[in-house]
Chains A and B, each alone.
Chain A
């Protein structure tokens, strides 16, 4: 299952026409203690680069953007009870939402793991 990364520090796992989206370990480290996550409603139409979710750390609220166009199929309900999952397991249990992909060619513009690592090393 290929994983892609955005310059805004989201990751997207693609499995056929469905994808899972979250924020990277680098992102959670920058945000610090996460106290609230607002995931999109099921059925929400997302467009690449548009607002998709909000993550609140002790310090501030940050937008999470949609890595590609598509429709939300599920938000991670576990984050409501335990937002700190984003700190402890950002690229696993701390996923934000699942979505369909309406334009798979958009994935070509995203980074793979090696490219994302190089991108973070330069920050």
Chain B
């Protein structure tokens, strides 16, 4: 028995601040983005469902946390991304895309205006390329710091908010809202005792939840305190992947890459209104053309008939014609069936279109499905 398409481990795999913590909790560790990371603890299925029902704690410290500061940082960054960054108010964040000159996606990222600078979270696998790209293209007076002395935790699920409140996290400044009054895509500086945390109401599961930047030396204590609550369990990368797939969220390096532009990637929402009118971002001609006329191909969701998982790399057919490829796929625990994402031509992209995916020589019927597969449960308005 051996895993199909198993990747050889690279020689120099680094460890993250919570490495020993994961191992002590029985995590199975794998190489991911150059780090030892927990793929699962109790099992992907159980961890996935726990996150949807209660609260899961994810270690995503492999991701790059960067801070850009200096006069005009937002305007300078706008030369590299299609979002309206200069309109981003303090305490607000936005999903955006680092674009190549031809409009291809170099990475997807979160950009937060902290009031003192722009805090960026980029993908672990490409963070060094991102840093080089930013340094090359941003003016010298914009300072860039990599927060490599910080861990990044994600607390996700319907009970995430009560867990964070139970922890006793307090706003660091008078103008910052209590964590339970943050709405989706809002962020602030907080104190847990004397530990400074950067917290945002955001995530990668489709559930309500938070992402917490914590100094590396306090990461274990924070993870311990959260997992001491009976509603919180540590969750591995395996469930993170199945959760984001159900939420219809693309994974860079799989569903997005340098050959795909934001319209093809079904991420047009990341191209802000003002930027559409003004252009001035890399690949604007191609991207604005695709916005106006539609792109030749598009990322879509795929419902899979039967039980056989359709995975990354499976070819897609419309009748006898090969039309596209699956970029992510697997069994979806909350759906109770296999699901997938992939690229198909515009003419085959309407929800309900019947296609077939080829798995080990067999044609498996699939249907283009609207994303997400599981409705998002983001908190966009708080009661208080």
Task: State the A residues within 8 Å of B (CB).
Answer: 8-10, 23, 27, 31-33, 35-36, 38, 54-65, 80, 83
CB distance from A16 to the nearest CB of B (A): 26
CB distance from B255 to the nearest CB of A (A): 17
What is the number of contacts between chain A and chain B, taking CB atoms within 8 Å? 68
Q: How far is the CA of A36 from the CA of B360 in the complex (A)?
A: 14
Of A32, A56, A59, A60, which one neighbours B308 at CB under 8 angstroms? A56
Cβ B1 vs Cβ A58 within 8 A: no
> What does DSSP make chain A's interface, helix, strand, loop or mixed?
strand
Of B2, B46, B238, B309, which one neighbours A35 at CB under 8 angstroms? B309
Of A32, A56, A60, which one neighbours B43 at CB under 8 angstroms? A32
Cβ B4 vs Cβ A59 within 8 A: no
Q: How far is the CA of A23 from the CA of B46 in the complex (A)?
A: 22
| Residue of chain A at shortest CB distance from B46 | A33
Of B1, B238, B360, which one neighbours A27 at CB under 8 angstroms? B1
| Contacting residues, chain A, for B45 (C-beta < 8 A) | 32-33, 58
Please give 9 more A-B residue pairs, beta carbons under 8 A apart, in addition to A9-B1, A58-B48, A58-B330: A8-B1, A32-B43, A35-B338, A58-B44, A58-B331, A60-B4, A62-B1, A64-B1, A80-B307
Cβ B307 vs Cβ A60 within 8 A: no
| Contacting residues, chain A, for B3 (C-beta < 8 A) | 60-62
| Residue of chain B at shortest CB distance from A87 | B43
Task: State the B residues within 8 Å of A (CB).
Answer: 1-5, 39-40, 43-46, 48, 238, 242, 307-309, 311, 330-331, 333, 338, 360
| Residue of chain B at shortest CB distance from A10 | B1
Cβ B1 vs Cβ A35 within 8 A: no
Cβ B1 vs Cβ A56 within 8 A: no
CB distance from A121 to the nearest CB of B (A): 17
| Contacting residues, chain B, for A57 (C-beta < 8 A) | 44
Cβ A32 vs Cβ B44 within 8 A: yes
Q: How far is the CA of A31 from the CA of B331 in the complex (A)?
A: 14
Cβ A36 vs Cβ B307 within 8 A: yes
| Contacting residues, chain B, for A23 (C-beta < 8 A) | 1
| Contacting residues, chain B, for A31 (C-beta < 8 A) | 1
Q: How far is the CA of A27 from the CA of B39 in the complex (A)?
A: 16
| Contacting residues, chain A, for B39 (C-beta < 8 A) | 59
